[in-house]
């Protein structure tokens, strides 16, 4: 019998994949967490040019090329109202690696990490892998995370809490006041706030503010990526920003586990961040239109769904048996409890699919809902 680490034994393969595998080949897939748009041409071209010019053959600096880190710093000053030195940025293999190194660098055995429930599946898994103890917190009725609930969940053993806005799986967007509160809590309790902002460009109502804009103590690290903003999930390019001391610790993990992010992807990311932003706008407008159609559909079905103000997910409350009924009829959706205990009784619907297919799926979901009444 091979011996495995207790940390890895606490983690299982995400339930989302099982749903895909259970459905037929012709199923409509509303389970996907990636935009259904191509990567902007100028980003693709920048990678191709870098490859042709022989610029992408070798390791880059561990933190990533200087020009990419400068582009990231400029992006944060322009879009997010906070200054970061390009030296305090690490380009990572997607937002996933950024979350991983943030937790690895800060969590000791048994220390607690607070995160939203329902929430993105990686928070719990990466906490386990770092040897920490997951502390999921329930959400408000509108599926945002209440800063007061986070503050209540803190104990002497808490080392970090995760904020995710706009959120997967709920589509919820935290208000600027909440973000200010999260920064205050991080400062007052001297815990780390990990702000996962990968859906930042998909906000339809309200606005995205980063807790980093309110951070005066260096207790906020920001995780972001090109994946969702520029439809670049396959490129695997994200980043993390933080105080110099924190970045130096995260770099120790990144350096040994990853060496550097993929060089061609770094050139593509730089072009995406500095080039025309039309695709970002096009995607946001398309997602908003689809969200509205989907919400109308839920209303007609009599399903309650807190209005998702961002990302490309909706999380309606669904009757018992709904998810199976919908999947049996050929539409893949993800059961809410794949995202935590409090997701029970909900389903996550991704509307990263064209309008025609989405409307077809809405009709099928309506039939499934009617069949259960």
Residues that bind ligand PLP (CB under 6 A): 33, 94-96, 120, 164, 168, 196, 198, 225, 227, 233, 238
Alpha-carbon gap, residue 237 to 256, rounded angstroms? 18
CA distances, 94 to each of 187, 227, 238, 328 (Å): 27, 7, 4, 33
CB of 172 to ligand PLP, least distance (A): 11
Name which of 120 and 161 has its Cβ closer to ligand PLP: 120
Name which of 29 and 96 has its Cβ closer to ligand PLP: 96
> Are the C-beta atoms of 270 and 75 separated by less than 8 Å?
no
CB of 367 to ligand PLP, least distance (A): 29
Alpha-carbon gap, residue 22 to 157, rounded angstroms? 40
Structure tokens at 195: 């702000």
Name which of 114 and 368 has its Cβ closer to ligand PLP: 114
Name which of 225 and 315 has its Cβ closer to ligand PLP: 225
CB of 258 to ligand PLP, least distance (A): 13
Name which of 121 and 361 has its Cβ closer to ligand PLP: 121
Name which of 225 and 332 has its Cβ closer to ligand PLP: 225
CB of 92 to ligand PLP, least distance (A): 8
Strand partners, 49: none
Structure tokens at 244: 């110099």
Name which of 62 and 96 has its Cβ closer to ligand PLP: 96
Q: How many helices (H) and strands (E) does the chain have?
A: 13, 12
Name which of 183 and 222 has its Cβ closer to ligand PLP: 222
Residues 6+ away with beta carbon under 8 Å from 123: 99, 113, 115, 116, 134, 162, 164
CB of 168 to ligand PLP, least distance (A): 3
CB of 164 to ligand PLP, least distance (A): 5
Name which of 200 and 325 has its Cβ closer to ligand PLP: 200
Alpha-carbon gap, residue 52 to 218, rounded angstroms? 40
3-class secondary structure per residue, 313-363: EECCECCCCHHHHHHHCCEECEEHHHHCHHHCCEEEEECCCCHHHHHHHHH
Name which of 350 and 369 has its Cβ closer to ligand PLP: 350
CB of 16 to ligand PLP, least distance (A): 10
The widest CA-to-CA distance across the chain, in whole angstroms, is: 63
Alpha-carbon gap, residue 137 to 140, rounded angstroms? 10
Other residues' Cβ atoms within 10 Å of the Cβ of residue 8: 11
Residue nearest ligand PLP, Cβ-based = 94
CB of 227 to ligand PLP, least distance (A): 3
CA distances, 180 to each of 175, 183, 208 (Å): 9, 5, 12
DSSP 3-state of 192: strand
Structure tokens at 58: 């070798």
Alpha-carbon gap, residue 88 to 91, rounded angstroms? 10
Alpha-carbon gap, residue 94 to 293, rounded angstroms? 31
CB of 232 to ligand PLP, least distance (A): 8
């Amino acid at each position: 019998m091979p011996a495995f680490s207790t940390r890895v034994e606490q983690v299982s393969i995400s339930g989302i994949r099982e749903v895909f595998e259970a459905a037929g080949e012709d199923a409509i897939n509303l389970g996907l967490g990636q935009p259904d748009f191509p990567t902007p041409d100028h980003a693709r071209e920048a990678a191709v040019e870098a490859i042709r010019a022989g610029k992408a053959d070798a390791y880059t600096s561990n933190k990533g090329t200087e020009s990419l880190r400068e582009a990231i710093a400029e992006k944060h000053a322009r879009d997010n109202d906070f200054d970061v030195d390009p030296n305090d940025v690490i380009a990572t293999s997607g937002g996933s690696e950024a979350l991983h190194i943030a937790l690895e660098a800060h969590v000791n055995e048994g220390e607690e990490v607070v995160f939203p429930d329902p929430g993105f599946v990686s928070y719990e898994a990466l906490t386990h892998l770092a040897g920490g103890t997951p502390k999921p917190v329930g959400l408000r009725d509108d599926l945002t995370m209440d800063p007061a609930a986070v503050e209540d969940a803190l104990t002497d053993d808490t080392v970090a809490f995760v904020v995710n806005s706009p959120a997967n799986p709920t589509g919820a967007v935290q208000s600027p006041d909440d973000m200010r509160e999260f920064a205050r809590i991080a400062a007052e309790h001297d815990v780390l706030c990990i702000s996962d902002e990968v859906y930042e460009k998909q906000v339809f109502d309200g606005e995205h503010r980063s807790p980093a804009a309110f951070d005066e103590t260096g207790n906020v690290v920001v995780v972001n990526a090109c994946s969702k903003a520029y439809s670049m999930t396959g490129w695997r390019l994200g980043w993390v920003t933080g105080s110099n001391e924190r970045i130096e610790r995260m770099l120790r993990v990144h350096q040994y586990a990853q060496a550097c992010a993929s060089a061609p992807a770094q050139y593509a990311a730089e072009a995406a961040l500095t080039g025309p932003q039309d695709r970002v706008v096009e995607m946001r407008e398309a997602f908003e239109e689809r969200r509205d159609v989907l919400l109308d559909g839920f209303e007609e079905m009599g399903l309650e769904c807190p209005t998702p103000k961002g990302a490309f997910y909706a999380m309606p409350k669904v009757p018992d048996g709904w998810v199976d009924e919908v999947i049996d009829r050929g539409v893949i959706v993800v059961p809410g409890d794949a995202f935590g205990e409090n997701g029970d009784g909900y389903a996550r619907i991704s509307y990263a699919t064209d309008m025609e297919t989405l409307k077809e799926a809405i009709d099928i979901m309506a039939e499934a809902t009617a069949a259960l009444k």
